[in-house]
Structure 1
Amino acid sequence: MSEFKALVVSEEQGRYVSNVVTRRVEDLPEGEVLIRVKYSSLNFKDALSASGNKGVTRQYPHTPGIDAAGVVESSSVSELKAGDEVIVTGYDLGMNTAGGYGQYIRVPAGWVLKRPDGLTLRESMLLGTAGLTAALCIDKLEQGGMITGQGPILVTGATGGVGSIAVAMLAGLGYEVAAATGKASQADFLKKLGATTIVERSELEAGKEKPLLKERWAGGVDTVGGDILFNVVKSLRYGATVACCGLTAGTGFQGSVLPFILRNVNLMGIDSVEQPLVVKASMWDRLSVQWKTDLSSIEHEVGLDELPQQIETILGGQMVGRVIVNLG
């Protein structure tokens, strides 16, 4: 098969427009592994790429999709053979390399992981970069000494992809979870995922002018950044850690050193894009076995034709849970 369907974003008269078009395999970038994509997922970075954000994607026309799961069609390396089921997340996929919103991708072998036995291709994309990021956050928190029974673990942006998976995973691991959101209507959704407390976003925005706030959280997964992140830092219990992985509330970060030197707290950065493949493999193994979580309640499956509307939804801050893209 030399032709396939792909979502392509083009610049037209100063606007960025998405259309499903026919592409040729021969036009894909160079790489050792050609993969027939079965599933992808929708992430905030994909929406930024689709809307012309030059910090994510420099040249258009372009096919976004930072996640892909599928079957090896051909390979020039011995480690990967035709018929192998594989996962690709991050690196340059969907940024400046044609991504998972096409039925075929061609990528370097160093980006490709064989599917863990405990996950189907579809389940791997229900997780995708969001699940990998949540796992990296929890791993970092546990390295920092977080254990169950110490108190509530706060998750900000809890209805989004990373947030909702983090809530479900933490609850499944036995942690007490406080879910922060600006969507009060989604309280029942978050409680079904395992949250024991719902925190209004406005509550986390209060007191940004103060150097310290009342000790409250035994740990945190922050997906939003900005003033909310530093208010979380100022509210950590002595010795606790927050893992930072998002910026939807802004990239600015202003605060004082007092929480760090008076309460011995930790702020840990999380990047899921350029992690060495061996680290990603370790996280995927955990996600497929001891950290495997039922996420059926947060999924919404769409085809390529429905993606543009879903992209508008996530850009508008209205996305809840995870969108799986079926390229079958």
Structure 2
Amino acid sequence: MTDLDFRAFRIHNDGSGYRGGIETMSTGALSAGQVLVKTAYSSVNYKDALAGTGKGKILRQYPLNGGIDAAGVVVASTDPKFKEGDAVLCTGSGLSETRDGGYGEYARFDAHWTIPLPAGLSLRESMVLGTAGFTAALALLQMEDNRQTPALGPIAVTGASGGVGMLAIDIFSRAGYQVHAISGKADHFDFLRSLGASACIDRRELVFSGKPMDSARFGGALDNVGGAMLAGLLPLVAPYGNVAICGNAGGIGFDSTVMPFIIRSVSLLGVASAGTARDQRERVWERLAGDWKPRHLDRIATREVSLDQLPDVFERMLAGESFGRTVVRHEV
């Protein structure tokens, strides 16, 4: 097909310095791939804010379009699995790291990482979920693959006021778990309860004993924080419970002992959503469109913006002023 001109939020790092902004480019200049998509929606994650401002080393090559999530409609494909008019999505998989991402009116995906939009989700809903919802659901999938059940006790969700945390509350409660939300933002507790949290705990009032083992309080945990929070949670997890770690807001290191692992058989599971294998991706999206679909997506999506508004969104997010999920709507 003939190359098309379109608008994109493109990031450079060259002799003129690090910069990102709206540019007009051609579909012929997009990263190689088999599936050309007219983008309908993308989303804003913390990783996107770091990449868009240069305050984090996210991109591995330049220039690239930002945005680690994208959803839209196929306009051309050289892979027989996808045809013109198909609704598809892609999260992670090198977007805005090694290939052009979703902050453009067009994107080109590698067919291996392109997911057909599952029945039960709209394009917009898939981007309210995006990497954040995918991460939360991937954590639950890994936990249940390792025999996590609601009978083990409540699941602690740290960083509960963030995008992953909010979606995790909705997803885990929908799956039948009691969720105890841990956050430093007590003014958000009523909202977190409305998403399904059965209890809210102010992290500043959460005191850990420092003992290698303590009375079991949680059946498992989804930890977005790491550091001292992760170290403190492990001694509180019931026998055979799982702690899924997907973030490091509190630091990349933690000081713990082997005792929760060898006495209670607690498992620590790493959740790396960006490079998730294809078969796991399909399982996660099937559940997100089905029995794990969050009930409050419209409320969690607190803001919808255009490409032009991205710089302001990035600054607010890095300043800790954002709340809920921000969806980027492209012209459709």
Q: Quick check: TM above 0.5?
A: yes
2:162 matched to 1:132?
no
Gaps of 5+ in 1: none
Confirm or deny that 1:232 pairs with 2:233. yes
Alignment root-mean-square deviation, CA: 1.9
1:162 deviates by 1.0
- Higher mean displacement: 88-97 or 137-146: 137-146
3-state SS in 2 of match to 1:124: helix
CA distance in 1 between partners of 2:124 and 2:284 (Å): 17
SS at match of 2:96: coil
- SS of the residue 2:252 aligns to: coil
Match of 1:119 among 101, 118, 121: 121
Map 1:210-221 to 2 at 5 A: 210-221=211-222
Give 1:6's aligned residue: 8
Counterparts of 1:92-107 in structure 2 under 5 Å?
92-107=94-109
Deviation of residue 208 (structure 1)?
7.5
Match of residue 174 from structure 1: 176
Equivalent residue pairs, number: 327
**CA distance in 2: counterparts of 1:281 and 1:207, whole angstroms:** 38
d(CA) in 1 for partners of 2:291 and 2:90? 21
Which of residues 307, 310, 322 is equivalent to 1:307?
310
Give me the whole-angstrom Cα distance separating, in 2, the residues matched to 1:318 and 1:208: 32
Instruction: Identify the residue that residue 250 of structure 2 maps to in structure 1.
Output: 249
Deviation at 1:207, TM superposition (A): 3.6
- Alpha-carbon deviations, 1:33-84, whole Å to 9, x = none? 1111100011122122113256421334332111110011111111111111
Per-residue deviation, residues 154-189 of structure 1 (Å, max 9, x unmatched): 000111111100101112222211001111111111
Q: Report what 2:197 is aligned to.
A: 195
TM, length-normalised to structure 2: 0.92
Contact 1:149–1:176 (8 Å) recurs in 2: no
Amino acid at match of 2:122: T
* Alignment counterpart, residue 320 of structure 2, candidates 317, 320, 325: 317
Secondary structure of residue in 2 paired with 1:171 = helix
Q: Quote the Cα distance in structure 1 between the aligned partners of 2:321 and 2:185.
A: 9
Structure 2: gaps spanning 5 or more residues: none
Is the 1:16–1:50 contact (alpha carbons within 8 Å) kept by the matching residues of 2?
A: no
Matching residue's letter, 1:219: G
**Secondary structure of the corresponding residue to residue 93 of structure 1:** coil
| Contact 2:152–2:238 under 8 Å retained in 1 | no
Question: Residue type matched to 1:282 in 2?
Answer: R
1:296 match: 298
When the two structures are superposed, what TM-score results if normalisation uses the length of structure 1?
0.93
Structure 1 residues 311 and 213, CA gap change in structure 2 (3 angstroms): farther
Name the residue aligned to 2:166: 164
Supply the distance in 2 between the matched residues of 1:241 and 1:132 (Cα, whole angstroms). Answer: 18
